[in-house]
Structure 1
Amino acid sequence: MKALLLTFGLSLLAALQGQAFPTVDETQNVSGTWYLKATAWDKEIPDKRLGSVPVTPMNIKTLEGGNLEVKFTVLIAGRCQEITTLLEKTDEPGKYTAHVGMRVLLFIIPSAVEDHYIFYYEGKVFKHRIRVAKLLGRDPEINQEALEDFQNAVRAGGLNPDNIFIPKQSETCPLGSD
């Protein structure tokens, strides 16, 4: 009887976790310009000044076959560099793989708030599992309702909402950095 209850409880938990992260379906268009609104890691952020680092918008383009091309500019060693990443579609809707120095799985999760998505990454670096969640929106302004939805998703994904940081928005790479 205990084994039956345990099996039932675990299957119910798995079903609830599946509902916590509904993925994007094929009809939802994620192409276009997106702004990084918030980020959370499963590890504590050692330098809380990350929120003062400006981020530029990213451009997502849907390619033939359903793969996604993501382009953004990042400040590396005092210089602006454009980064292009290919997100390869898997057989599961809303699930992609990417190779960004390591192989990661990416889940695109629609937010409860219109024009917002949560990108949830899982990967391994030197045998250490990392998990990152990012809140993206169509405009640079912080939407409090979307941020609350993101905090709930972060909790549901087993990440610490205290590790959320909100970056400063910049339309272009910071002046004087090129």
Structure 2
Amino acid sequence: MKALLLAVGLGLITVLQAQDPPASGEDMTAMSGKWYLKAMITDQETSQKKPELVTPMILTVLEGGNLKAETTLLINGQCKEVELILEKTSEPNKYMAYGGNRVVYIKPTEVKDHYILYCEGEIQGKQVQMAKLVGRDPESNEEALENFQEFLRDKGFNQEIFFPKQSDTCPPGTDQEPEA
């Protein structure tokens, strides 16, 4: 379950780095704020369950351009708090996480404030590819979804797209556990 939580959280974090970084001296806080996971897909099934619901990711820009993201996922009736750090690289739109075990590429869609996160790396000893569609608001956007589906076809994905439920908070009556 930890691997899935980390994978989902990683994809959420990277969305804001998809924007061109501000020029030197500009305010980098424009990348901070709420982002919503709208759709996701992976090329392999894992033993982990998909989240029953996700809260918006809160992104904070750290010194040096790295990002800290915080979100909560409801899995098996338990809310799991996820906090991740994404390290920027020297290549535009490429980021590293988990000690270099995961690479994340960010692709803006043709729709304002919507991005595709493409992740490659190892989960549970397998090489896995994932893609996620994220946006600034929780509403679905058909044009952004069409961009996402076109990207998936180009990458050879043929699995079913998962659309997580959104919530601003963990539902009452669920246990909340921090995830390291």
* TM-score in terms of structure 1 length: 0.75
> What's the offset of the Cα at 1:63?
1.5
Alignment of 1:25 with 2:20, yes or no, is yes
Alignment of 1:164 with 2:165, yes or no, is no
The structure with the larger Rg is 1
Aligned-partner SS, 2:63:
coil
**Contact 1:39/1:166, CA 8 A, preserved across alignment:** yes
Q: Paired residue for 1:58?
A: 57
Q: Paired residue for 2:144?
A: 146
Counterparts of 2:124 and 2:172, CA distance in 1: 35
* TM-score in terms of structure 2 length: 0.74
1:76-106, CA deviations, whole angstroms, 9 ceiling, x for partnerless residues?
5533232110000111011111118x82111
Alignment of 1:94 with 2:93, yes or no, is yes
Q: Paired residue for 2:41?
A: 40
Counterparts of 1:108 and 1:64, CA distance in 2: 21
* Alpha-carbon RMSD: 2.6
Match of 2:173 among 138, 158, 176: 176
Letter matched to residue 20 of structure 2: D
1:102-123, CA deviations, whole angstroms, 9 ceiling, x for partnerless residues?
8211112111110111111100
Counterparts of 1:76 and 1:152, CA distance in 2: 29
Cα separation, partners in 2 of 1:97 and 1:146, compared to 1, 3 Å: same
Q: Paired residue for 2:25?
A: none
Counterparts of 1:66 and 1:105, CA distance in 2: 16
**Identity of matched residues, %:** 49
